[in-house]
Amino acid sequence: MALVIDVICEVCGRTKREVTDHSGVCQSCRAEIAQKKRNVHLAGLRGLTTQQRLEVIEAQLYDLDADRRLRAIEMTNVQYA
């Protein structure tokens, strides 16, 4: 279930009625911030050689290790009282 409230955005200052993540920032500003972060990250990669970029990708894939994380979640015995 989602919580829909009036949000006064700390970035743009406008009041919007939307699902909240309790950050105090509206969805459009969060999307804009995320896009800026993505652009900065990708701009930083442009200066790297192909080999360096490949090493970055390999490190990210190694750190992701989704299979290990899923096994750990599946092995957890969660009980709700």
Has residue 67 been placed in a domain? yes
Has residue 8 been placed in a domain? yes
Q: What confidence score (pLDDT) does residue 67 get?
A: 80
Q: Report the largest interatomic distance among the alpha carbons of the chain, rounded to a whole angstrom.
A: 54
Question: For 44-81, what is each residue's pLDDT tens digit?
Answer: 999 999 999 999 999 988 888 878 778 777 777 665 55
Has residue 58 been placed in a domain? yes
d(CA 45, CA 19): 34
**How many domains does the structure of the chain reveal?**
1
Residues sharing a CB contact under 8 Å with residue 31, sequence separation 6 or more, in sequence order: none
Can you give the residue range of the structural domain that contains 32? 4-73
d(CA 12, CA 69): 38
Q: Is the pTM for the entire model greater than 0.75?
A: no
Question: For 4-31, what is each residue's pLDDT tens digit?
Answer: 888 899 999 999 898 877 788 888 899 9
Has residue 17 been placed in a domain? yes
